[in-house]
Structure 1
Amino acid sequence: MHRLTTDHSEVARLIASGELDEAEAQNYPGRNVITKAIGIQLNPSPETVTGVVEEGDVFLLCSDGLTEHNSDDDLRMALLASEQPRRIVEHLLGQTLDRGARDNVTAIVLRCLRDHSRDDAEA
């Protein structure tokens, strides 16, 4: 599992700089202060990532409302537990709610499948 983006928040910046560790971040008073957001500027500059997508790759796009209550190990286990993106999302949302979700929670899971139309073109 590889994290492709970072949370644009004050607490994430402090963790990255070494000023806070993960445990301190849980109780940091400014942990919900965001440093970048879409929709507040005329010309937004969203973070983008490029690369090659391969068959079998799985992507989790989620808000910090999900990651606040689920560790990287929790996310990894959920992504490996099912082939069905809907079941993965249902599990993660249920787990987040059970753990006392304090923020809005968004989760999308994408599983990359083989492009069979390319098989026909190469035959």
Structure 2
Amino acid sequence: MSPEQREVAYINSRKLAASQVTRLKAISEIAASGVPVGSAKIVVEVFLALRKGTTVKRALAIRDMDRFLAGIRKDDGLEALAVALNAFARHIVYRESLGSKQPGNRALYSNTSHTSRFQRKKPSLL
């Protein structure tokens, strides 16, 4: 995604997580920015999983994941970031179990978890 599309995706996924829009509306808005509908669905799915702390099985580009993690930290704080980082760590382990090396995701996880080292609830370490 372009930086503009990434921002539209974050804003609309966040609205969906806050029950301010329907899933269909969030996907439609993301798709209107030029993201294919199937990709918009994946973006929404990943964001919701990060917010809930559930295992993320679909992959996003590292820049997109970085934007989501940074936004969660900025908008929701360190506790919410810890939940998202736990989900992201499980995603990395899942993808590696399928034989997909994850050096970029591991670096992003390491950098993001390092910047949140003062939080009370630490993310699971890889």
TM-score (norm 1): 0.26
More helix by share: 2
Q: Which has the larger radius of gyration?
A: 1
Higher relative contact order (CA 8 A, sep 6+): 1
